[in-house]
A and B are shown apart, each in its own frame.
Chain A
Amino acid sequence: MIRARIRKNFAAGPESSAFSLDIQLELGAGITVLFGPSGAGKTLILDCIAGFVQPDEGRILLDDAILFDGAAHVNIPPRERRCGYVFQNYALFPHMSLRGNVDFAAKSIPRLERHRSVTEMLERFHIAEVAGRRPHEVSGGQKQRCSIARAMIGGPKLLLLDEPARGLDAPLRVELYTVLRQIRAEFGIPILVVTHDLEECFALGEEMLVLRDGRLIQSGPPRKVIEQPAGIEVARLFGIYNLLHVEIRVLDPGRNISRLRYGEFEITGPYFPGRFKGDRVWLCIHPGHLKVSPADGKLGPNQVRVNLLRAVEKPQAVRLEFSGDLAAEVPRSQFERHKHNRDWVIEFPVEGLRVL
């Protein structure tokens, strides 16, 4: 269990603008993903917890040990923090074999047991056969597993991973996720994974934290967070949603709906509690929830007319990009029949529209 309250300010420099980190988090056993765009301060949080960066103020507690307390001037050095850290480039010592790397971290284990423990760890992460090689002689996946094995052998009370899937191709990612779930099951410690990949949040996280500009702006189970972004900022970060800026024309609490003005069109939306007629609000809808069809003259309820700008092939579907910054995903078969059509109609199902 780790509890942290961290504040850190950076003044503007010649090449950087001012930045402030101000967060509070509490993680129990299990995998938590820390999601955010680059420059949000994700790595900075890891560095504060691991002790490489000293916060201006705050308090970091790992189990019952105080790692940092600004008010009491406690600042435990990194080597005594027992925070496993898997660096972005793995940071395996290039002049040691994989075994040497793991052994380096096993200093606290009594000499008689050390060899066996290291061997066990190498076997557990399937790098025993290449243990005698140097890092530059093994594959990316093996480097990754070695760096995790090295982080785990000292018996850390917390594991931090900085963009662990970066630069790995799809099969290795899947393997990495398996390894992390294995650690989660066998060691029962909190695991904090930094990522800017939404799919990774889904694949890994039991809990998800969304960080932007040094602030945590949403947290919860990944599915819930992604399906219901807490605001326009979060929805923009995810980059998957159609965002509609609408004006409320009519509110109908009885039928739990509203009438909204969207550009030149009027559509039916969900009811907005606590809002007034005339307010401008944001809605979002997933591209897969839009219904699209070629224009045939008449507009039905909740339909708007758009031009097709571009069709992008995706593995399972076709992504259609329309005028007005709207995008929809449709099965390929459905699109093939109308692929030369330019004028389309989009329908917004009321149940697909989410209030931000």
Chain B
Amino acid sequence: MQLDWFPLWLSLRVAALSTVIAFFGGLALAYVLANRQFRWKEVIDAAVTLPLVLPPTVLGYYLLVVLGRQSPLGKMFEGIFGSPLVFTWKAAVVAALFHAGPLLIKSSRAALESVDRSYERAARNLGATEWRVFWRVSLPLAWRSILAAVVLAFARALGDFGITIMIAGNIPGRTQTVAVAIYDAVESGNGMLARTLVLVISAVALLVLSIANRLGAKRFGSTYTPV
């Protein structure tokens, strides 16, 4: 029997795209959370964390309401791109985003906050603008932890089931990601396909985790602070 590899490619594409989006958006938000003091800061942080603790179906339901074809956002999307968002592969990206984003924002914030403030102070003292401080000092020093977070976010985005099935559905060849395909295969008694996909996705996850662990190890001796 010929195996259908489409779900795996779709999952990888969706996970990669959502990780890229989460990276740029998440890093900016993480920087603000790590460096600025303002009201509602911890409320925003909590809101960002919410997707990690809510049941995926609940999130999926919210998203259906907010992004559905009858909602203002859904109509706007349809107006701009000419096709609806829900029940397309783009909706799967949105679903994955809700797994990758929180993880990235939380980890990047922690990584940026763990950079010894004296380096940033020194950089400002030496005439660097905030932009330069971030790109030349904060980011390089937090880089490995952030990269580890990116890899983890990718792995997490790869495996979403609940949100995807709610807003992207289970359309073979169009929106059927690996997690959904496995469920579908088991339901329809296609044990061979289920086993293969389970093994492949486990191997990918293991590989990604070992990369993340290696990145997490620190580089400049045991600590960043030279005393």
Which residues of A approach B to under 8 Å, CB–CB?
50, 52, 77-81, 83-85, 87, 89-95, 104-105, 107-108, 134-136, 143, 150-151, 154, 167
Residues from chain B with Cβ under 8 Å of A167 in the complex: 227
* Nearest CB in chain A to that of B136: its residue: A104
Minimum CB–CB distance for A92 against chain B, Å: 7
Q: Are A91 and B220 in contact (CB under 8 A)?
A: no
Q: Are B121 and A52 in contact (CB under 8 A)?
A: yes
Flag B198-213 by CB within 8 Å of A: 1 or 0 each: 0000000000000000
Residue B122 at the A interface, CB < 8 A? yes
Stretch at the interface among B21-29, B63-71, B100-108, B124-132: B124-132
* Distance of A107 Cα from B132 Cα, bound (Å): 11
Residues from chain B with Cβ under 8 Å of A90 in the complex: 226
Which residues of B approach A to under 8 Å, CB–CB?
116, 118-119, 121-129, 132, 136-137, 140-141, 220-221, 224-227
Q: Are A94 and B220 in contact (CB under 8 A)?
A: yes
* Distance of A107 Cα from B123 Cα, bound (Å): 11
* Distance of A91 Cα from B224 Cα, bound (Å): 10
Minimum CB–CB distance for A221 against chain B, Å: 30
Cβ-neighbour of B121 out of A87, A105, A134, A136 (below 8 A): A87
* Distance of A104 Cα from B225 Cα, bound (Å): 19
Minimum CB–CB distance for A149 against chain B, Å: 12
Cβ-neighbour of B140 out of A52, A77, A95, A134 (below 8 A): A95
Minimum CB–CB distance for B33 against chain A, Å: 21
Q: Are A87 and B128 in contact (CB under 8 A)?
A: no
Q: Are B137 and A105 in contact (CB under 8 A)?
A: no
Are A91 and B128 CB-contacts (below 8 A) given A136-B226, A143-B226, A167-B227?
Answer: no
Cβ-neighbour of A91 out of B122, B129, B132 (below 8 A): B122
* Nearest CB in chain B to that of A166: its residue: B227
Are A85 and B125 CB-contacts (below 8 A) given A91-B118, A93-B137?
Answer: yes
* Distance of A78 Cα from B220 Cα, bound (Å): 27
Main secondary structure of the interface of A (DSSP, over half): loop
Residues from chain B with Cβ under 8 Å of A134 in the complex: 220
* Distance of A150 Cα from B127 Cα, bound (Å): 11
Q: Are B121 and A107 in contact (CB under 8 A)?
A: no
Report 6 cross-chain contacts, Cβ distance below 8 Å, ordered by A residue: A78-B124, A89-B225, A89-B226, A91-B118, A136-B220, A167-B227
Residues from chain A with Cβ under 8 Å of B124 in the complex: 52, 77-79
Q: Are B137 and A79 in contact (CB under 8 A)?
A: no
Minimum CB–CB distance for B189 against chain A, Å: 55
Cβ-neighbour of A92 out of B129, B141, B221, B226 (below 8 A): B226
Cβ-neighbour of B125 out of A50, A89, A94 (below 8 A): A50
Q: Are A87 and B122 in contact (CB under 8 A)?
A: yes
Q: Are B125 and A95 in contact (CB under 8 A)?
A: no
Residues from chain A with Cβ under 8 Å of B126 in the complex: 79, 104-105, 150-151, 154
* Distance of A92 Cα from B118 Cα, bound (Å): 9
Which one of B118, B122, B128, B226 has the greatest number of beta carbons of chain A within 10 Å? B122
Are A94 and B136 CB-contacts (below 8 A) given A78-B121, A85-B122, A104-B126?
Answer: no
* Nearest CB in chain B to that of A85: its residue: B125
* Nearest CB in chain B to that of A47: its residue: B121
Are A135 and B125 CB-contacts (below 8 A) given A91-B119, A93-B119, A95-B141?
Answer: no
Residues from chain A with Cβ under 8 Å of B141 in the complex: 93-95
